[in-house]
Chains A and B, each alone.
Chain A
Amino acid sequence: MNDFIASIDRPEIVAGIMILALNAYALMGGADFGGGVWDLLASGPRRERQRELISGTIAPIWEANHVWLIVVVVMLFTAFPAAYGVLSVVLHVPLSLMLVGIVLRGSAFVFRSYGSRTREDRRRWGLAFAIASTITPLLLGDIVGALSSGGVADAARRVGRGAFVEVFVSPWLAPFPLAVGALALALFSFLAAVYLTVAAQDDEVREDFRRRALASAVAVFVTAGIALLLARGEASRVGIGLTAGRLAVAVQVATGVAAVVAIGALWRRRYPLARLAAGAQVSFILWGWALAQYPYLIPPTLAIRDAAAPAATLELLLWALAGGAVILIPALVYLFRTFNAPVRRAL
Chain B
Amino acid sequence: MSDLLAARSQMAMSLAFHIVFAEIGIAMPVMMVLAEWRWRRTGDAVYLQLAKRWAKGTAMLFAVGAVSGTVLSFELGLLWPRFMELAGPVIGMPFSLEGFAFFTEAIFLGLYLYGWERISPRAHMVAGVIVAVSGAASAVFVVMVNAWMNTPTGITVLGGRIVAVDPIAGMLNPSSFQQALHMLIAAYAATGLAVAGIHALVILRGATAPLHRHALAIALCVGAPAALLQPLSGDLSARSIAKLQPVKLAALEGQFDTERGAPLRIGGWPDTDARVTRYAIEIPRALSLLAFHDPGAEVRGLSSFPRDEWPPVPIVHLGFQVMVGLGTAMALASAWVVISVLRRRVIAEHRPLLTALAIVAPFGFIATEAGWIVTEVGRQPWVVQGVLRTATAVTPMPGLVVPFVVFTLLYLALAAIVVSMMASLVRETT
Residues of chain A at the chain B interface (Cβ within 8 Å): 59-61, 63-64, 66-67, 69-71, 73-75, 77-79, 81-82, 84-89, 92, 95-96, 99-100, 102-107, 109-111, 113-115, 117, 159-160, 164, 168, 309-310, 312-313, 316-317, 320-321, 323-324, 327-328, 331-332, 334-335, 338-339, 341, 343-347
Contact = CB atoms under 8 A, between A and B. Distances in A.
A278 to B, nearest CB: 23
B67 A107 contact: yes
Nearest first, the 4 A-B pairs at minimum CB distance are A78-B92, A88-B77, A81-B88, A115-B421
22 contacts: A74-B73, A75-B96, A77-B84, A84-B81, A84-B84, A89-B396, A95-B78, A100-B407, A102-B70, A105-B67, A110-B60, A110-B64, A113-B59, A114-B56, A312-B164, A313-B92, A317-B93, A320-B93, A335-B107, A339-B110, A341-B118, A345-B117
B67 A103 contact: yes
Interface string B80-116: 0110111111101101111110111011111101111
Contacts of A347: 116-117
Given A77-B76, A88-B78, A320-B96, A331 B107 contact: yes
Most chain B beta-carbon contacts within 10 A, residue among A77, A85, A105: A77
B168 interface: yes
B426 to A, nearest CB: 13
Interface in B140-191: 162, 164-168
A117 B167 CA distance: 49
Contacts of B93: 78, 313, 316-317, 320
Interface stretch (B222-230, B310-318, B397-405): B397-405
Most chain A beta-carbon contacts within 10 A, residue among B59, B110, B403: B110
Contacts of A338: 111, 115, 118-119
A318 B410 CA distance: 37
A86 B56 CA distance: 40
Contact of B395 (A66, A92, A312, A320): A92
Contacts of B73: 70, 73-74
Nearest to A117: B424
Contacts of A103: 67-68, 70-71, 410, 414
A99 B111 contact: no
A60 B114 contact: yes
Contact of A317 (B62, B69, B96, B114): B96
Contact of A99 (B71, B85, B166, B425): B71
Interface in B289-319: none
Most chain B beta-carbon contacts within 10 A, residue among A106, A114, A335: A114
Given A73-B74, A313-B92, A338-B115, 12 more contacts: A60-B110, A66-B66, A70-B70, A73-B73, A85-B85, A100-B406, A103-B414, A111-B421, A309-B88, A317-B96, A335-B110, A343-B117
A102 to B, nearest CB: 6
A139 to B, nearest CB: 12
Given A89-B395, A110-B64, A312 B166 contact: yes
Interface of B: 56, 59-60, 62-64, 66-71, 73-74, 76-78, 81-82, 84-90, 92-93, 95-100, 102-104, 106-111, 113-119, 162, 164-168, 395-399, 403, 406-407, 410, 414, 417, 421, 424-425
A69 B70 contact: yes
A74 B92 contact: yes
A277 B108 CA distance: 29
- Which secondary structure dominates where chain A touches chain B? helix
B143 to A, nearest CB: 16
Contacts of A87: 77
A227 B63 CA distance: 34
B67 A106 contact: yes
A78 B95 contact: yes
Contact of B88 (A78, A107, A109, A334): A78
Given A89-B81, A324-B100, A327-B104, A312 B165 contact: yes
B166 to A, nearest CB: 6
A47 to B, nearest CB: 24
B77 A85 contact: yes
A64 B115 CA distance: 15
Contacts of B396: 89, 159-160
Contacts of B90: 313
Contact of A70 (B60, B82, B102, B417): B102
A339 B167 contact: no
A262 B106 CA distance: 31
A294 to B, nearest CB: 22
B70 A66 contact: yes
A310 B117 CA distance: 49
Nearest to A97: B406
A77 B86 CA distance: 10
A320 B118 contact: no
Nearest to A98: B74
B327 to A, nearest CB: 31
B93 to A, nearest CB: 6
A89 B79 CA distance: 8
Contacts of B81: 84-86, 88-89
B417 A309 contact: no
B420 to A, nearest CB: 8
Contacts of A88: 74, 77-78, 81, 84, 395
Nearest to B82: A85
B120 to A, nearest CB: 9
Contacts of A320: 93, 96-97, 100
B268 to A, nearest CB: 40
Contacts of B115: 60, 338
Contacts of B407: 96, 100
B117 A316 contact: no
Contacts of B102: 67, 70
Nearest to A311: B165
Contacts of B395: 88-89, 92
Contacts of B109: 63
Contact of A168 (B62, B67, B397): B397
A113 B56 CA distance: 9
A102 B70 CA distance: 8
Given A309-B89, A341-B118, A347-B117, A60 B71 contact: no
B144 to A, nearest CB: 14
Contacts of A105: 67
Given A103-B71, A168-B397, A331 B104 contact: yes
A111 B100 CA distance: 26
A343 B118 contact: yes
Nearest to B84: A77
Nearest to A80: B88
Nearest to A325: B100
A121 to B, nearest CB: 10
A332 B167 CA distance: 28
Most chain A beta-carbon contacts within 10 A, residue among B82, B102, B115, B166: B102
Nearest to A312: B165
A109 B62 CA distance: 12
